[in-house]
Each structure stands twice: as structure tokens, then as C-alpha cells.
Amino acid sequence: MKLKIRIGILAVVLAFSNVLVVQAQETEDNSLLKTESGLQVKTILEGTGEYPQDGDKVIVHYTGKLLNGTVFDSSVKRGTPFDFELGAGRVIKGWDEGFKHIKKGGKATLIIPPSIGYGSKDMGSIPPNSVLIFDVELLDIKKGLRIEPFKTDGLDTVALPSGLKYIAVKKGKGKRAEKGSNVTINYSLYIDGKLVDSSIKKGEPLKFPLGKGMLIPGLDEGVSAMREGDKYRMIIPPELGFGKKASGIPADAILTMDIELLEVKEEIKPKEYKVKGKRTYSTESGLQYIIVEEGKGVTPKVGQEVSVHYTGYLEDKTVFDSSVSRDQVFKFPLGQGRVIKGWDEGVALMKVGDKIRFIIPANLAYGDKEMGNIPANSTLIFDVELIDVK
């Protein structure tokens, strides 16, 4: 549904936003806060707890509506609260900003302009350039871990010909990382001095096969200079990082990563599913799938956390990513838009124990975006096993 929003509707959106502000000024409504970003927070019930801070995990209920009252998503309807790390960029900017103004136990309405919502993106039931209205309740706050950056004062910075720089903070004595080996690291990622991601906060180290192009080039190159027990700070230039391509990260950002190499293991090679002679099914969206092996477990519901193993291939059979190679299952909440549309649709068809090959057209994957080693407009092939549902 890639339709441009009509000028008349946009005018209504702007008028509605302006009316809210005017009403707040005329009535001196202290329950309505308007921030510089254009966010408006209408307090419905003052909470009795404290305000959350960046890094805290917040547990919330919400109902999202368009200006015409259409409900496009609701955790209340599903009966399952939603949680996320505040300030980590894992939700729209209006949420990261808005929940900082709500106390634990509080209820509020967030009025979020497109600039801090989904902007001009077509999000299915949410048209481009939509003002979003969320009725939210902050159920609980779980204090996040406070990550301390590595101390590098007085240590030498080594510059490599590629442009990568690193600082050896602590030297280990274990096995050296080599191309193809399966490495396990803890990392904290900073941009302009701000922590934006951390495996420590997630409570799970990152595993990946070294030198296979499954992560950014700077990480592959940097970790290949390490051995078990090493702690390095890496300064990764844009051309070895995300460049202009990463969602939620500024274009051409210089990445600072504090990395500890925990373990080096032998390479794990995923086995391609055997699909010869098996029937290919198609859905209305264009998703295709082949049932390789049937399980006997439950089928997941929207909002439940699913655990899967997968290997992703391009049409020429090039492997671009694999949880099998990392020896690490992948977990995500089903139907929440945390993965590509083809995954949300496809995994919803599975039972625990199923092994299915999905053929996902570009419009249900990354579309015309180039995503690292995935070219623009790529049809993607995934061999997926559903391990568990919670």
C-alpha cells in the first residue's frame, strides 16, 4: 500500500496538531506537555513511581490509533504487555522520548508527529506521514545495567591501512581468532559517546563465524587481530561500519566498540535443506514455502517470543547469515515488525519442530535497500527451524 498521503489529509493532520497546542495554551492545561520535537504527552493518570531512564527496561501496555480513530495495534487486545530498552533506538523516537515523561503506574496519551514516528515509510496499516496516537500505561520499570566504557587513557592507538584503529586494553592468552572460526564476543557500541547497543545489556554474548561477511567489515577485521581474553577498543570508520545503510544509526557514523573476545571454536557449517521433489506452497502476499520436516509442537501466536535456527541464502546459494554458524538461536516477538514481513508471516505458519524453506520476494524482505552483503531487490531464501515458543 505505497500511496502518497493526500494534501487534504495532511492538512487535517497539521490542523489537529495545532488545535491541541492552542487548546493547551488557552486552558493552561498542565497535564499536556509539548516538547521541541513536536511530541505531545497528555497525562491521564499520574503514576506514583519514578520516571524511567535510558537503559531501563520498561514494560508497557498500549493501543495505537490513527487520527481517524482506526486502531492499528494493541498490546491490550493481545493481552500481552510489550517491553523494550528505553533510549536504545529499538522503538520509534516518539516512544523513546515519550516514556521518559511518564511515571511508573502512569497512563498517558502520546501524540507523535511523523518526524518522530515512521516518517514517510509505508508501514502496512499505517499510511506514510501519519500522526500516531498511543494510549499507553507504564506498568513497570526494571533498572538497566550501567555499562562502563573501557579505560584507554595513556594506551597506544594502532592504525591499520584499512582505516580501522584499535587500542589493546587487556591482553589475553587464549586461542587466536582465525577466518572461519566461530567466535563469541561481548561488545558495547558507542556513537558520539552515547551507548547505542550492548550484548551485555541483552544478557547474551554475540556469536558469529569470523571473516564470512555476516557482520560489518571493521568487526571482522578487528576481531581477527585478537585472541581469547583480549579486550580491545575499536574505532571503525563508516566505510568499514554501516556507511549510510543502517536503520537507526546516523549515516556515515564513526563507531566505537569495546570488545572482549570470550571464546574461539571450530567453524560450524550449516547444512542446506533438501527440497527436491517436495511441494512448494504460495500465500497471497507472494511468500513461498516448502515443508521439509513436520514438527508436532504448538503454532505461535502474535506477540509470543519464538526461538529459531536459520540459514539465509541469496538466489545464487551464497550464505549471507546463519544462526547455525553462530551456534546461537535467534529470538524475536512474532508479529511485532521486529523482523522482515516475510518472516513474521512465514514463522506464523510453523509448528515447533517444523523445518521449512521460505522463498521471500524483495517486497516482503528489504525491498530496494542494500543491506550489507544483501543486494537491493533481492529474493531471499531461508531454511528455518522453529525451536521453541514462549
Q: What is the CA radius of gyration of the chain?
A: 23
- What digits encode the pLDDT tens for the residues 76-126? 999 999 999 898 788 999 999 999 999 999 999 999 999 999 999 888 889
Cell of 1: 500500500
- pLDDT tier at 242 (50, 70, 90 boundaries)? confident
Indicate which residues carry an active-site annotation. 62, 72-73, 92, 118, 134
Domain 280-389 = CATH 3.40.50.300: no
Residue 216, CA distances (Å) to 243, 254, 292, 326, 376 in order: 10, 12, 32, 15, 17
Nearest-CA neighbor of 370 among 207, 247, 208, 286? 247
pTM: 0.54
The C-alpha cell 577498543 sits at 233
CATH number at 7-142: 3.10.50.40
The distance of Cα 15 from the centroid of its chain, to the nearest Å, equals: 33
- What digits encode the pLDDT tens for the residues 324-369? 888 889 999 999 888 999 999 999 999 999 999 999 999 999 998 8
Residue 145, CA distances (Å) to 57, 114, 199 in order: 10, 31, 11
The better pLDDT of the pair 307, 245 is held by: 307
What does the domain layout of the chain look like in residue ranges?
A: 7-142, 158-265, 280-389
Residue 315 has pLDDT above 80, yes or no: yes
Do the domains 280-389 and 158-265 match in fold?
A: yes
Class of 158-265 per CATH? alpha beta
Give 88's Cβ-side CA count (13 Å radius).
20
The per-residue DSSP string of 353-380 comes to T-EEEEEE-GGGTTTT--BTTB-TT--E
Mean pLDDT of 258-272: 91
Residue 316, CA distances (Å) to 130, 207, 343, 369, 384 in order: 39, 25, 20, 19, 18
- pLDDT at position 325 is 84
Residue 307 has pLDDT above 90, yes or no: yes
Cell of 250: 546516523
